[in-house]
Amino acid sequence: MTRLLICAALGIEARAIRRGLPAHPGGTRVIVTGVGPRRAARAAAGWGAGWGSGRGGGPEAVAVAGFGGAVDRSLRPGDVLVASEVRFGGRVHPCPSAPLLAGELARAGLPVKVGPLVTADHVVRGAERHRLAAEGAYAVDMETGPLARAAASRPLAAVRVIVDTPGAPLLSPATLARGVAARRALAAVGPVLARWAAAIGPRTVLLAEPRSFCAGVERAIEIVELALERHGPPVYVRKQIVHNLHVVEDLGRRGAVFVDELDEVPAGAVTVFSAHGVSPEVRKAAARRGLRVIDATCPLVSKVHAEARRFASEGRLVVLIGHAGHEEAEGTLGEAGGSGVLVQTADDVAALPADRPVSYLMQTTLAEDEAAEVAAAIRGRFPDARGPRRNDICYATTNRQASVRAIAEESDVVLVVGSVNSSNSLRLVEVADRRSPAHLVDDTGGIALGWLAGARTVGLTAGASAPPSLVDDIVAALRGLGEVSVEERVIARESVRFSLPGEALS
């Protein structure tokens, strides 16, 4: 059990934190340091004592919690600031695990922000607050700096519940009510800090390779970026260009406008079709509206479209193995015209009509073994069924499933970075989960600290639509919980590149 020391400046803060902790909080101690950097430094000088016999060396992790003042105007009284770094006396003390802690606090129902915390030796007011805000600081206190310095290389967390802001000074009629709310928030912070401490320890991170962006996703993003550069915002994109929250938010900030249907697009506007492809009906609707279309459909999806058209033209039933409602499945079924039918499981095969020759295709992002099971059921009922030579599952999906399988064998827990609507990311979770507990996360903030408790080997991968920087962010945050050694398990090196469509360059 990690020896966690929680430092609070005031008795009222310490009592609120203790109230939230279990009756016998194991290795956790809460101390009152007194107000100001000098008292905090004195408290740190004595914190090695009192851990009981045989527990020398003092705390293994240090947290500072209490009230604080905002300098950034986005913070409101009652908000909880998790320090990304502590600035004090000309030095910066990083808190790399801040995004993990912030995510856990948010799940506990607290309004959380992450940003730099400044420790001052006096109460900061007026113009000084504005100066600190201009330097990028979010909040200010008077104790964390010396405690962070004393923590040295130990994991460090600093959490401040905001009680005053530039627009809501400390001495006002609302102070009492704010104080009550802040104490309640601090009580909720205590158990989260205990979970943070339980997740502390040295660990190995096993990176799956390949992971993250595939060639089709890189191409689709480049097409939108190029359209923004050449035509200027807004550039309309039908559906999410790729199924990832961060990619969509980033392109949205740069001027891409994501729409569900083309009737939301002004006539004649530049419009990008997403990597998942569209049905012929959508192309016709775009032509009717005079839209200037740039098609970002992945060439590997286009290949399946061509197969669908060919099988349909031969008078065959075109059975698509895929997921209902997924944009790629809708586009491929559209290409098969009235001849297309979707099956999701082997059980669905029994209901297929037997009035004409049968062919089958696959969504590109399926789990290989499940798709193979459904294909076998089709061939079992229709021995003459025609299908793709091997399967339609793309190289990127195949490689990412193989690499996650490899790391899952060795991991205590597997984290898959991807969004909940990303089919290939969900399949990675399913594949990994057969070997180790696996979880889908959009980013570092989505990782529950409980998953990391006792997990000495963490497998890490990302779906084909998830930016590689999110993986780097997670590794950086895990380093805030103790020493991390990173190893890669390489299943394949990918060098696939797709050329851009002509309309993207004109």
Residues binding ligand SF4 (CB under 6 A): 214-217, 275, 298, 300-301, 364-365, 394, 396-397, 424, 464
| β-strand pairing of 457-462 with 438-441 | unpaired
Tokens describing residue 57: 């060396």
* DSSP class per residue in 14-32: HHHHHHHS-SS-TTEEEEE
Q: Name the minimum Å distance from CB 247 to ligand SF4.
A: 12
Tell me how far apart the alpha carbons of residues 321 and 372 are, in angstroms, rounded to a whole number: 10
Q: How far is CA 334 from CA 237, 264, 306, 337, 363, in A?
A: 19, 21, 12, 5, 13
Q: Name the minimum Å distance from CB 421 to ligand SF4.
A: 13
**258 - beta bridge partners?**
237
Specify the DSSP element, H or E, that contains 50: none
Q: Name the minimum Å distance from CB 14 to ligand SF4.
A: 52
Q: Which residues of 443-455 are buried (b: 16+ CB within 10 A; e: fewer)?
A: bbbbbebebbbeb
Nearer to ligand SF4, 365 or 411 (CB): 365
Catalytic residue among 85, 209, 307, 328: 328
Nearer to ligand SF4, 86 or 300 (CB): 300
How would you list the strands of the sheet with 270-273, edge to edge? 256-259, 235-238, 270-273, 292-295
List the Cα angle 214/219/224 in 5-degree steps. 130
Residue nearest to ligand SF4 (CB): 216
Nearer to ligand SF4, 419 or 424 (CB): 424
Q: Name the minimum Å distance from CB 212 to ligand SF4.
A: 11
Q: Comparing C-alpha atoms, which of 216, 252, 189 is closest to residue 4? A: 189
Residue 373 a catalytic site member: no
Q: In whole angstroms, what separates CA 227 from the centre of its chain?
A: 27
Q: Name the minimum Å distance from CB 394 to ligand SF4.
A: 3
Nearer to ligand SF4, 159 or 440 (CB): 440
Tell me how far apart the alpha carbons of residues 461 and 418 are, in angstroms, rounded to a whole number: 9
Nearer to ligand SF4, 9 or 394 (CB): 394
Nearer to ligand SF4, 25 or 210 (CB): 210
Q: Name the minimum Å distance from CB 363 to ligand SF4.
A: 9
152: left (phi over 0), alpha (psi -120 to 50) or beta: left
Residues marked as catalytic: 328
